[in-house]
Amino acid sequence: MSPAHIQINDAVDRVVTITISRPEKLNALNAQTLGEIEAAFEGVATDSRVGAVILTGAGPKSFVAGADIEGLAKASPIGAREIALHGQRVFRRIETCGKPVIAAVNGFALGGGLELAMACTVRVASTNAKLGQPEVKLGIVPGFGGTQRLPLLVGRGRAMEMLLTGEPITATEAYRIGLVNHVVEPEQLLDKAKEIALKMLANAPVALALTMEAVDVGLACGLEQGLQFEATAFGLSAATEDKREGTQAFLEKRKAKFSGK
């Protein structure tokens, strides 16, 4: 059965585009949408035809306007915790799928929408984007990773201001503080996201995956364990055919042709 709330385009140049599409709710995340995103990224992780993902929202108004407040308003404390754990699991799957994920942020990225964007590898925002964690205005706490990923990206002080005021920021301010990597006009958004994806895919696939995992381990476990993992990853990459091809191509002054092996 085809997903109801996301659209998955066929891979072009090994880049697949996943679009969250609940226009009547500004692409807000409910349990079904989260489940469809999770299933999509399970597929991405194991599909050798896919090298990178662009994740965006349908329409010019919203990337993802947040979680579905209607459902959340009815949730019990235990139910709310389960909602949070579900969202955290889905976003962690995006983060650990082993392939670069570019968030193309169009319009609102609020609450769960910003948390979704932060779980991606890099973020490109359109000039009309608004990004924020407004949960405190609803009497709740960010539940899909906002209190954890936002300080890692922008630092404790700036994260605290965003989290505790609940006020959104513009794309320009998000770029200034390091929350997004690029800001472009809306009509250039997907092209810029694909440009970044293709630059990444010009490199060795195994090295890309190991590099992302090394960063993840270091952030989660600290410098010493991160360095140990990095050394192991370096050794693993040195055993690949791509390492032999990459180093030989450099010495021969030609473009490398990586096989992902």
CA atoms within 13 A on the CB side of 111: 25
- Helices 77-95 and 31-46, interaxial angle, to 10°? 20
- Considering the candidates 24, 135, 167, 245, report the single residue annotated as catalytic: 135
Reduce the DSSP state of residue 145 to 3 states and report it.
Answer: coil
Task: Specify the DSSP class assigned to residue 12.
Answer: B
Task: Sheet with 52-57: list strands edge to edge.
Answer: 6-8, 15-20, 52-57, 101-105, 122-126, 182-184
Spot the catalytic one: 36, 42, 95, 115.
115
Dihedral sign for Cα 238, 244, 249, 251, please.
positive
Residue 146 and residue 114 in contact, taking contact as beta carbons nearer than 8 Å? yes
Composition of the chain by helix, strand, coil, percent to 5: 55, 15, 30
70 is catalytic: no
User: Any residues with CB less than 8 A from the CB of 75 and at least 6 apart, and which?
Assistant: 83
Residue 135 bears catalytic tag:
yes
Cα atoms found within 13 Å of the Cα of residue 135, Cβ hemisphere only: 21
Nearest partner of 207 among 250, 181, 246, judged by Cα: 246
Q: Which residues are catalytic?
A: 115, 135
